[in-house]
Amino acid sequence: MNLQKTLGPQASSHLRLIGMALLWGASWPAGRMVAQHMPPLAASGLRFVLAALVLLPWMYMAGGMGQLKTWSARRWLGMAAAAATGVFGYAAFFLSGLQHLPASKAALVITLNPVVTLLLAAWIFRERLNRTIGLGMLVAAMGAALVISHGNPLQLLSSGVGVGELMILGCVVCWVSYTLIGRAILTGVDALSTTAVTSTMGAIMLLLASLVVEGPQGMAGVVHAGGTAWGALLFLAWGSTALAYAWYFDGVKALGAGAASGYITLVPVIGVICSALWLGEQVDASMLVGGALAVAGTAVMNWGRRQPAPLAGAARAG
């Protein structure tokens, strides 16, 4: 039975967005399984090779291949930069960080993504901020600091952060860079084409890096990993990448980017729950409080971004 006919177009889009949040949330424990049994660069490279095997035919069927011939050198350079940050850098930090850090904690640290992105967008592109967005940023940053410091933010000043936390913060830097590159250079390219092309380019970068850093043993370690690790890798490639992006694009098209992005707030919560259920990870008080603050701050930021800009006359009157 057709889901859209049964529930209506908007209801089915909301369900797909919930599915997207579930897949992206579950990517954290899946990544932890892969990181514990496979070399990170080789596994990441194979993940995006497998994803590209789905994304490129999807792009072809959507009629997106013809546009590649018309892209300028600047656009191709932009794609390469986006692939280097959003795929190569993010994926390498993602699995390397999960070698040292529980998946539940890593999923909460990543809530810094929208905070840093909005701050830099306001600085570079003069994107509008308001008090609601500022409040959300502050709350989300406080929550992330609690999670990173195990409930003692002052400890960050004296002892710093661990290797795992630094790696996941590297994910934040890479994703923010990817987002800002897309804003500056890739305007006018649809999301499917950007994802398919950057995934393919990023896969090549990751495989080359694996050969240099891990040697032939890297791919051999992936091939000889157990069935559980391979299942997690296939889930990352086809579930968390290809299918989740398909559902996200559907939600953006049907409901708008603002409504669709609101569902991303659920991702860290789902990541913590899945990590506790599947991996038996312990969730302490600092993670509960910090996670609640981070998710609440992200929700407040999304709400603030949907508020209309004040009228010029009203702004001057204050």
Predicted pLDDT of residue 121 = 84
Structure tokens at 195: 């994802």
- Which pLDDT belongs to residue 231? 97
- Cα separations in angstroms, 99 against 32, 48, 94, 102: 7, 19, 9, 8
**Distances in Å between the alpha carbon of 270 and those of 99, 121, 134, 261?**
20, 27, 25, 15
Residue 188's pLDDT is what? 81
Q: What parts of the chain have a pLDDT lower than 50?
A: 1, 310-318
Tokens 């609101």: give the residue. 262
Half-sphere exposure of 314 (CA within 13 A, CB side): 4
| Widest pairwise Cα distance in the chain | 69
pLDDT value at residue 277:
92
Phi-psi domain of 188 (left: phi exceeds 0; alpha: psi -120 through 50; beta: other): left
Find all residues with CB under 8 Å of 21, minimum gap 6, and list them.
Answer: 263, 264, 266, 267, 270
Q: Which amino acid type is present at position 122? A: A
The span from the CA of 255 to the CA of 84, in Å, is 30
